Structure 1
Amino acid sequence: MENNIDFKDLWKKQSVSQSDIEDLTARLKQFKKAGVRSLWKTNILLFATSAFILFVWYHYQPQFISSKIGIVLMILAMLIYVVVYNGLLKIYKDIDTSQTNQEYLQKLILIKRKQQFMQSTLLSWYFVMLLSGICLYMYEYASRMTLFYALITYGVTLLWIAFNWFYLRPKQIKKQEDKINNLIGKFEDVNKQLNSDL
């Protein structure tokens, strides 16, 4: 059975109303816009953060090699994350209104797979590299503190990273998964309706 049905012809089908299709294409456009906007925000924030870290390196001239390795690790973590994350941009740009229902589904499933890879493997490496970089960078300054203040400094930093990892990250992942699963589910429902009409 052929699933490559043009969206523009869907209104002709009795079980799928034109308003449902218009709503679905509007949701897809909104999803695409939000995805591209998120990509741009991430690029700008990570670029600004990297620029700030380089400024700190240049301005404060850390003496310990651990500080320099820490800075390189942090910037490398952000660079790797941005490069892989920007792979989604091409997929988002490839989504247009002239595609068939099956092509929309394939793009959404591809985006979902990439997001799952990023949310598990890539984000884990990102956090490990970032945490290592921050701890190495802070060592030079913590070594000048009393043990009490050094422990507080590391403790607050590690608590903030743990909060991000255990609370913010799962919420963000769930939000992204809900959005894409909802959209995929709606396209699959339209597919089923169309297949039952054929």
Structure 2
Amino acid sequence: MQAFDQIQELWQKHEVEVKVSADEMLQQVKKEVNGLKLKSALNILGMLASFIAIAIMWALFHFESWTTHVGISITLIAIGVYTLLLYRDHKLISKNDYTVHPNEYLSSLKTYQLNRYKLYNTLYWFYVIALSLGIIFYFVEILSHFNMMQKSLAIGLTAIWIIFCSTILRKAVIKREKERIALLIEKFERISAQFSASE
């Protein structure tokens, strides 16, 4: 039994250092970077699809009240500005070749991380307020065609959806993206350190 304890103690003292080459690490992060770019591009496409759908609805339907036009305008402006911010961030992570310039890409990734923090915190609330204001103006005319039960249902479901997106969904997205970007930054820091050590 004493021999087993000595072996166990020796094993616990033994540290195994795993070295991964910069090339292997670049292959690992390639998949993650491509996933980040794809997710970013899909977000932009989703926002553009929303913008186009609302613009088509505005062009095809005849609205009588000026409030409806103001509401749709506010909504389109909010979606347009948010889409431009998403595009700016997408360009940031797509402009540098991470296989050739890992240090530059690391810098871009850190800026992207900071921009996403602002986007999901301060800027997000401006977006939600603008969308809510647009919906309120839009509902002035639209809800006049509904009975009391339909009005209550439309207002209730819209409020629940906005609250759900602003709390539970937003927090889950922030947490997942924060972890993903932090892991990428850590990997690029290790790659940069290995490149510096090999020079």
CA distance in 2, matches of 1:122, 1:20: 40
Specify which structure has the bigger relative contact order, considering alpha-carbon pairs within 8 angstroms and separated by 6 or more residues.
1
What do residues 48-88 of structure 1 show as CA deviations (whole Å, max 9, x unaligned)? 22221122222221111111111111111110011111112
RMSD: 2.6
Query: Once the 2 structures are TM-superposed, how far is the Cα of residue 106 of structure 1 from its aligned partner?
Result: 1.6
CA distance in 2, matches of 1:58, 1:195: 58
* Corresponding residue for residue 98 of structure 1: 100
CA distance in 2, matches of 1:41, 1:76: 20
* 2:26 matches 1:54: no
Matched position secondary structure for 1:143: helix
* Corresponding residue for residue 187 of structure 2: 186
* Corresponding residue for residue 8 of structure 2: none
Letter in 2 for 1:153: A
Distance of aligned partners of 1:23 and 1:175 in 2 relative to their CA distance in 1, 3 Å threshold: farther
The runs of 4+ residues in structure 1 deviating greater than 3 Å are 186-198
CA distance in 1, matches of 2:56, 2:192: 53
* Corresponding residue for residue 125 of structure 2: 124
Q: How many equivalent residue pairs?
A: 182
Q: Is the 8 A contact 2:65 2:141 kept in 1?
A: yes
Q: Is the 8 A contact 1:108 1:184 kept in 2?
A: yes
Query: Once the 2 structures are TM-superposed, how far is the Cα of residue 179 of structure 1 from its aligned partner?
Result: 0.3
CA distance in 2, matches of 1:36, 1:191: 21
Q: Is the 8 A contact 1:50 1:75 kept in 2?
A: yes
Q: Which has the larger radius of gyration?
A: 2
Query: Once the 2 structures are TM-superposed, how far is the Cα of residue 193 of structure 1 from its aligned partner?
Result: 7.6
Distance of aligned partners of 1:52 and 1:95 in 2 relative to their CA distance in 1, 3 Å threshold: same
> Normalized against structure 2, the TM-score is what?
0.79
CA distance in 2, matches of 1:190, 1:53: 45
What do residues 132-176 of structure 1 show as CA deviations (whole Å, max 9, x unaligned)? 112211221212333343122101111011111111111111111
Give 1:9-88 correspondences, 5 Å limit: 17=19, 19-88=20-89
> Normalized against structure 1, the TM-score is what?
0.79
Distance of aligned partners of 1:37 and 1:187 in 2 relative to their CA distance in 1, 3 Å threshold: closer
Q: Is the 8 A contact 2:67 2:140 kept in 1?
A: yes
Structure 2 gaps, min length 5? 1-16
Query: Once the 2 structures are TM-superposed, how far is the Cα of residue 21 of structure 1 from its aligned partner?
Result: 2.7
Distance of aligned partners of 1:36 and 1:192 in 2 relative to their CA distance in 1, 3 Å threshold: closer
Distance of aligned partners of 1:127 and 1:39 in 2 relative to their CA distance in 1, 3 Å threshold: same
Query: Once the 2 structures are TM-superposed, how far is the Cα of residue 131 of structure 1 from its aligned partner?
Result: 1.6
Distance of aligned partners of 1:28 and 1:142 in 2 relative to their CA distance in 1, 3 Å threshold: same
The worse-fitting range, judged by mean Cα deviation, of 65-74 and 117-126 is 117-126
